[in-house]
Chain A
């Protein structure tokens, strides 16, 4: 199985900060990775697909990069509505695997 190691597990940041979250795959997954945002009590929402493509309707302050084994989600200027938990998901092989999640909290 492919393991997805996501870091950090949590971070504190202020509105306007640049935030970076990383996912590392235990083996190469090309660009078969998505990033999801989840707020408490709500379903996940896809932000990025194919590692770097922005989901329709998602603000351009979100961006993704990477290929192979290392991937990054960047929020260029953190907004109040961005405080949430973020997950990566590899869809290269079965079983699909998520990262452990990164909780973004208000500093």
Chain B
């Protein structure tokens, strides 16, 4: 059974940094692209970033480009999101999501970790 467990969320001041982690189990981690998707309180889903299975290709939403960095450690079955220069509008639940075979978009999602950016 695929399991994705996010961690690293919390309260951070504007301009601060945070690193999220997503520990994966029940899958051959390096075979799949992985993504981060966020949801601001009471709002819809917003795609944030995707990394290929090898880690060689990365993609970002314009809203986070230059501030966030996605990476993965396939030896540890772990996905990361380094978030710098955080803004109030980055406040959200951040989900990690596993890409599916054939590139059909995410099929499994973690339960999310809350990031709150506030002074």
Residues of A within 8 A of B (CB): 1, 32, 34, 36, 38, 42-46, 49-50, 53, 55, 87, 89, 91, 94-101
Contacts and interface: CB of A to CB of B under 8 A. Distances in A.
Contact of A55 (B107, B109, B110, B112): B107
A96 to B, nearest CB: 4
A95 B110 contact: no
A95 B62 contact: yes
Contact of B44 (A50, A53, A100): A100
Contacts, number: 60
Contacts of A89: 45, 47, 105-106
Nearest to A43: B109
Contacts of A97: 47
Interface residues on B, range: 20 to 34
Chain A interface mostly helix, strand, loop or mixed?
loop
B54 to A, nearest CB: 17
A55 B50 CA distance: 22
A93 to B, nearest CB: 10
Contact of B47 (A32, A50, A96): A96
Contacts of A45: 109
